[in-house]
Structure 1
Amino acid sequence: MRWLLAVTVAWAVLLGVLTWWSARNDAPTVREQRTLAEAGPVVDRALGQLVAAVGDGAWALTGPQVERGCRITPMSAGATLSRGLDVLVAEGGERALLDRVADRLPADWRAGVRAGSAGPRLRADAGGFVTVQGRVTSGGRVRLTADTGCRPVGAGYPQPPAASADPTLDAALAALGRAAQTAPQPVTAPCPGGGTARTVAVTAGAAPAALTGLRPLAAGPPVVDLPEVYAYRSGPTTVLADGTGAQLRLSASTGCPA
């Protein structure tokens, strides 16, 4: 019987060693094995890929959203991180944009666009159990997102610090005769070929607003010229004035190198 006990103990020790080694060295096999802190860089890189795929045009990165309270298990709570990129196109060109983005994403993401009852939807897998989606939010507006799903929080996702005002935003505010109502917040994403994509945004008082004062600031033809939306380029930066909501929103975005 002693040999049986010895074999049992040895087997238990071996299983413990293998479990420890696997936990430290094997790649995660389910989403719950990677924390929000670990998944954050995957989401950031996915946003950079999306910016590069969109290319020129009127777009703005939106701030990261961390929603707590989801359930990983009945006894364990977690959080979800999502990041977004809003793109404006000529109405009717939403499907073409989604197709172009899907074609430009890495091949191993297996990106594709399918028609649905709510319009065309882009889906892709950025790796690390991070899902990329694209959908039409309204005529001429497309939102691209990267989402972690419910994860353990871990060290959490770091929020960006406040930024000084962007010179192009200062010029736009002066041309409109308005003052920023909120502190500028930078939103960044690493570009796939190096460098950083960046959006800085502020609100500038109640909408609607006459946006014709921005026309002299445009270097060349405007990117978007609508009664409530105007976008133009100033050097490498695209400035977007969006007065379709309750507040006029101004953003200055610099994309990834071609």
Structure 2
Amino acid sequence: MAWLLAVTVTWAVVVGGLTWWSARHDPPTVKEQRTLADAGPVVDRALGELVAAVGDGAWALTGPQVERGCRITPMADGATLTRGLDVLVAEGGERALLDRVADRLPADWRAGVRAGASGPRLRADAGEFVAVQGRVTSGGRVRFTADTGCRPVGAGYPQPSAAPADPTLDAALRALGRPARSAPEQVTAPCPGGGTARTVAVSAGDAPVALTGLRPLAAGSPVADLPEVYAYRSGPATVLADGTGAQVRLAASTGCPG
């Protein structure tokens, strides 16, 4: 029986060695093995692809949201990372925007738009178990998101760094006769062809506020001119003033080249 014991020990050593090697060298094969730190760059690149697909217009990147407390297994907690892109279009043009973005996304994402009970919805797969969606949130407003689903936190997702002063937003605040009520927030995403898409945003205090003071700042025709929303071009940036919430939000966004 000594030979059987020797074979068993040898087999255990081989299996242990292969497991050690696989854990350190093989790529993860399921979502639950990939942390937010692993998935974060995929989500970032997905936002850059969405910005490039949207093109010109009134849009703004939103800050990343990390929600903890989901369950990976009955014994393990996790977190979900979601990043977003809000786009303003003429009311009635929401489906056309979703279709256009779906057509411009990478072919291997298999993007498509389907009608549903709550309106049309874009769905795509950015790879690495990162889901991309686009949906109508209200008349003339479309939100695109990329999210990781529930993952181990790992090293986590880095929060946006402090934004530098933005002369475009400073000019908008002066035109409205209001000081900034929050520190500037900067959100970025890597463009697929190189470069960086960027949104810098501040709060301009309580709504409502007359946005007509922004009209002299527009270079050419406004991008959007509604009672509570005004968007205009200023150099390479598009400035979006949104007074539909409790706070007036000003955002200056620069898209991807090309």
Q: Which amino acid aligns with 1:105?
A: L
Aligned to 2:229: 229
Pairwise CA RMSD of aligned residues? 0.9
Q: Which amino acid aligns with 1:148?
A: T
| Cα distance between partner residues in 2 of 1:3 and 1:96 | 73
| Cα distance between partner residues in 2 of 1:213 and 1:121 | 36
Q: Which amino acid aligns with 1:103?
A: D
Once the two structures are overlaid, the 10-residue window that deviates more, 20-29 or 107-116, is 20-29
| Cα distance between partner residues in 1 of 2:106 and 2:8 | 49
Aligned to 2:126: 126
| Cα distance between partner residues in 2 of 1:49 and 1:164 | 25
Q: Which amino acid aligns with 1:215?
A: R
Q: How many residues align?
A: 258
Shift of 1:18: 1.8
Aligned to 2:153: 153
SS of equivalent residue, structure 1 residue 49: helix
Aligned to 1:40: 40
Shift of 1:24: 2.3
Once the two structures are overlaid, the 10-residue window that deviates more, 181-190 or 26-35, is 26-35
Shift of 1:23: 2.0
Shift of 1:79: 0.7
Aligned to 2:90: 90
Q: Which amino acid aligns with 2:21?
A: W
Q: Which amino acid aligns with 1:81?
A: L
Aligned to 1:177: 177
| Cα distance between partner residues in 2 of 1:54 and 1:100 | 8
Q: TM-score, normalised by structure 1?
A: 0.98
Shift of 1:22: 2.0
Q: Which amino acid aligns with 2:94?
A: E
| Cα distance between partner residues in 2 of 1:158 and 1:249 | 24
Q: Unaligned 5+ residue runs, structure 1?
A: none
Shift of 1:27: 2.5
Aligned to 2:202: 202
Q: Which amino acid aligns with 2:204?
A: A
Aligned to 1:238: 238
Q: Which amino acid aligns with 2:119?
A: G
Once the two structures are overlaid, the 10-residue window that deviates more, 20-29 or 92-101, is 20-29
Once the two structures are overlaid, the 10-residue window that deviates more, 17-26 or 98-107, is 17-26
Shift of 1:155: 0.9
Q: TM-score, normalised by structure 2?
A: 0.98
1:10-21 to 2 correspondence within 5 Å? Answer: 10-21=10-21
| Cα distance between partner residues in 1 of 2:89 and 2:22 | 48
Shift of 1:211: 0.7
| Cα distance between partner residues in 2 of 1:27 and 1:123 | 26
Question: Percent identity at matched positions?
Answer: 86
Q: Unaligned 5+ residue runs, structure 2?
A: none
For residues 8-31 of structure 1, the C-alpha deviation after alignment (integer angstroms, 9 at most, x for no partner) is 122112211222222223222211
